C-alpha cells in the first residue's frame, strides 16, 4: 500500500446549506461536508505519529500542506477539510544516479581491462608463431643413423673415443667492441673485436646437475659456496641447505679429476698433457670460484688440502714466483678468503684472489687538452664523483690498508663487485650514460691490472632488461659474464627478437 499524506485546506465562507436537487441526490454527486471543531483539528496535528512525520527531513516531500491564514486559532475558528493524498514513490536523485554510473563504469573496466590484456598477449603469440613457427612445422633435426655404433649395427664399437665426454660442446664466446685501455681513444671507426667474453655459472651448486650442466652449455666458470663444518667442506647457499653427501669433493673435485683423466688418457697416441675439460678447445681453462662462507683461515687451509688431487696431477693453474703457468683448472677464492694467507707464499700458489673491482676504477684517459682540440669528445669524459668505497664488493679477509696495485695477474684472477650497489638501479629499461661510464672505468681498471671483470647481482627480470645489460657489458669488454640462466646466456644473439621479448 502506497504511503499518503494529510492535506488540510480551509473551507470557504460558510453559507447556509442548501437542499440538494433530486437529480443531485439521485446521481450521488452532492454530499454534505461535515464540520469539525477547531480543537479536534489541533489534536490531530499534535498526534505523535504526525509530529514524527513532520520533523523528518529524509523524505524529499512535505508531509503536510497547510495553506491556511496565519491567524490565531482563538481569534478565528475555521473549519477545515482533511483529505488523504497518496505520496508518489521517491525517484533517484541526481547524485545517486551519478554514483550508479560511476560504479557501472568501474565494473565494466574490471571486466574489459583483463580481457584486453589477454587479447593483446594472444595477438603477440599469434604474431610470434607466424614469424618463427616454421621451426615447429619443419623439423630438420632428425637423427641420422640412430643405431650407428650399437652392438650388431653399423659402426659397432666406433661410437665412442676417450675424450668424448664433452664432445660437440663449444665454450661460450661473446665478442665485443670496446675501449682499449692502452690507447687514448678509439672511435667507432677504429674499434675492433679485441677480445671475447666467457660465461660464469653463478651459484652453480643450485642447478639440477651441478658442474655438468654448466659444461653442457659451454660455461668456463663455476661457483661453489663452501662451509667448513667438522672435518669436511660442504656445499650450499646456507647452512639449512647442507647435506652430508653434497661436499666440495663429491660435487666438484672428484668429478673434475675423473673428467680430466678422460681428457688426458694414457695411450700410445696421446702426445700432450694438461688438456682442459673441453674437447673442442683443450687449452681453455675452467675457473672454479670457491666462496668461503665460514672462518677464512681454517676454511682456506681445508680447501688447499682437498685440492691436492687436482694439484698432484698437474691440473691446476699456478704462480711459480715469476709468472703464471696456465692449467686445466684455475681456482679463485672469494668471500672470506684471506688475502694475506693467499699471497704468503711468494714462490708457489695455485689459488688466486677475487679482487674488489671498485678499487680498480680507472678514469678516462681523455685530458682537457683533448677536449679543447675536439669539444665533441666531452660526452666521453668520465664522471668525477665516483667513490670506490661504495662499489659493493665485500672485502672480508682483506687488510684495510691493501693498495689497489696489489691486485694483479700474479695474485688475482677475477675482479668482481655487486652490480646493483655499484652501478645502481636501472630505470626505464636502459642504462644511463653515467652508469655506462662507471662500468667503462671499472672494466678499464681491471684490464690494466690484467684481471677479468665480473659483475654479480645483475637484474634477471624482465628478460629484455637482462639482455640489455648483458649486451652493454659485452660491448664494454667485461671479462666474465655472470649468468643464472645458462640457456639464455648461450643464445647466439640476445638482441634478436624472440617471442618472450615482452617479459
Residue ranges covered by each domain of the chain: 4-86, 94-132, 171-489
Between 224 and 83, where is the model more confident? 224
Cα of 272 vs its chain's centroid, Å? 46
What does the buried/exposed string (b/e) look like for 245-281 if buried means 16 or more CB atoms within 10 Å of the residue's CB?
Answer: eebbeebbbebbbebbebbbeeeeeeeeebbbbbbeb
Between 479 and 396, where is the model more confident? 479
Q: How many CB atoms lie within 10 A of CB 495?
A: 12
Confidence check: pLDDT of 443 > 80 = yes
Between 249 and 150, where is the model more confident? 249
Q: How far are the Cα atoms of 40, 81, 284 from residue 54, in angstroms, in the given order?
A: 18, 19, 98
Q: Do the Cβ atoms of 319 and 413 come closer than 8 Å?
A: no
Looking at residue 400, what is its pLDDT?
Answer: 78
Looking at residue 324, what is its pLDDT?
Answer: 96
What does the buried/exposed string (b/e) look like for 88-121 if buried means 16 or more CB atoms within 10 Å of the residue's CB?
Answer: eeeeeeeeeeeeeeeeeeeeeeeeeeeeeeeeee
Q: How many CB atoms lie within 10 A of CB 444?
A: 24
Provide the residue count of the chain.
503
Residue with cell 654479480: 456
Confidence check: pLDDT of 234 > 80 = yes
d(CA 278, CA 169): 7
d(CA 226, CA 447): 29
Q: What is the mean pLDDT of residues 140-168?
A: 78
Confidence check: pLDDT of 284 > 90 = yes
| Percent of the chain topping pLDDT 90 | 44
Cα torsion 33, 37, 38, 41 to 10°: value is -70
Between 104 and 357, where is the model more confident? 357
Task: Please report, in angstroms and rounded to a whole number, the separation of the first and last CA atoms in the chain.
Answer: 63
For residue range 110-127, what is the model confidence (pLDDT) as tens digits?
A: 888 888 988 988 888 788
For residue range 30-84, what is the model confidence (pLDDT) as tens digits?
A: 555 555 555 455 545 545 455 445 444 444 444 444 444 555 544 444 555 555 5
Phi, psi of 361 (to 5 degrees): -55, 130
Confidence check: pLDDT of 255 > 60 = yes
Overall CATH class of domain 171-489: alpha beta
Between 357 and 25, where is the model more confident? 357
Amino acid at each position: 500500500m502506497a504511503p499518503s499524506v494529510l492535506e488540510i485546506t480551509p473551507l470557504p465562507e460558510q453559507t447556509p446549506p442548501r437542499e440538494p436537487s433530486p437529480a443531485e441526490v439521485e446521481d450521488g454527486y452532492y454530499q454534505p461536508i461535515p464540520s469539525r471543531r477547531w480543537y479536534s483539528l489541533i489534536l490531530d496535528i499534535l498526534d505523535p505519529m504526525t509530529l514524527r512525520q513532520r520533523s523528518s527531513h529524509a523524505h524529499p516531500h512535505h508531509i503536510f500542506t497547510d495553506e491556511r491564514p496565519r491567524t490565531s486559532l482563538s481569534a478565528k475558528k475555521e473549519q477545515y477539510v482533511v483529505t488523504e493524498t497518496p505520496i508518489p514513490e521517491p525517484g533517484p536523485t541526481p547524485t545517486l544516479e551519478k554514483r550508479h554510473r560511476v560504479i557501472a563504469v568501474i565494473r565494466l573496466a574490471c571486466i574489459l581491462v583483463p580481457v584486453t590484456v589477454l587479447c593483446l598477449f594472444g595477438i603477440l603469440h599469434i604474431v610470434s608463431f607466424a614469424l618463427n613457427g616454421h621451426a615447429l612445422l619443419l623439423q630438420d633435426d632428425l637423427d641420422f643413423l640412430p643405431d650407428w655404433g650399437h652392438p650388431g649395427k653399423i659402426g659397432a664399437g666406433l661410437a665412442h673415443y676417450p675424450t668424448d665426454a664433452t664432445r660437440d660442446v663449444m665454450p661460450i664466446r661473446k665478442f665485443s667492441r670496446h675501449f682499449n685501455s692502452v690507447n687514448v681513444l678509439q672511435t667507432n671507426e677504429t674499434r675492433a673485436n679485441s677480445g671475447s667474453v666467457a660465461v660464469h655459472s653463478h651459484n652453480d651448486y643450485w642447478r639440477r646437475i651441478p658442474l655438468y650442466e654448466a659444461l653442457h652449455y659451454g660455461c668456463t666458470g663455476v661457483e661453489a659456496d663452501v662451509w667448513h663444518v667438522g672435518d669436511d667442506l660442504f656445499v650450499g647457499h646456507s647452512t639449512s641447505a647442507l647435506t652430508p653427501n653434497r661436499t666440495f669433493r663429491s660435487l666438484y673435485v672428484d668429478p673434475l679429476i675423473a673428467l680430466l683423466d678422460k681428457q688426458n688418457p694414457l695411450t700410445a697416441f696421446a702426445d700432450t698433457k694438461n688438456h682442459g675439460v673441453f674437447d673442442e678447445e683443450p687449452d681453455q681453462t675452467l675457473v672454479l670460484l670457491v666462496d668461503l662462507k665460514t672462518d677464512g683461515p681454517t676454511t682456506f687451509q681445508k680447501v688447499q688440502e682437498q685440492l691436492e688431487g687436482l694439484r698432484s696431477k698437474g691440473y691446476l693453474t699456478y704462480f711459480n714466483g715469476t709468472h703464471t703457468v696456465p692449467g686445466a683448472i684455475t681456482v679463485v677464492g672469494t668471500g672470506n678468503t684471506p688475502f694475506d694467507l693467499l699471497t704468503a707464499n711468494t714462490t708457489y700458489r695455485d689459488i688466486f684472489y677475487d679482487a674488489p673491482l671498485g678499487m680498480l676504477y680507472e678514469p678516462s684517459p681523455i685530458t682537457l687538452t683533448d677536449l679543447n682540440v675536439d669539444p665533441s669528445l666531452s660526452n666521453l669524459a668520465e664522471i668525477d664523483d665516483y667513490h670506490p668505497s661504495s662499489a659493493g664488493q665485500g672485502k672480508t679477509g682483506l687488510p684495510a690498508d691493501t693498495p689497489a696495485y696489489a691486485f694483479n695477474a700474479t695474485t688475482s684472477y677475477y675482479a668482481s663487485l655487486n652490480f646493483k650497489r655499484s652501478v645502481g638501479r636501472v630505470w626505464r629499461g636502459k642504462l644511463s650514460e653515467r652508469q655506462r661510464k662507471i662500468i667503462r672505468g671499472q672494466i678499464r681498471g681491471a684490464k690494466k691490472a690484467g684481471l677479468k671483470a665480473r659483475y654479480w647481482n645483475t637484474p634477471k627480470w624482465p628478460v629484455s632488461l637482462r639482455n640489455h645489460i648483458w649486451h652493454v657489458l659485452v660491448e664494454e669488454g667485461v671479462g666474465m659474464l655472470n649468468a643464472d640462466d645458462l640457456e639464455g646466456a648461450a643464445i647466439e644473439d640476445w638482441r634478436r627478437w624472440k617471442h618472450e621479448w615482452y617479459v
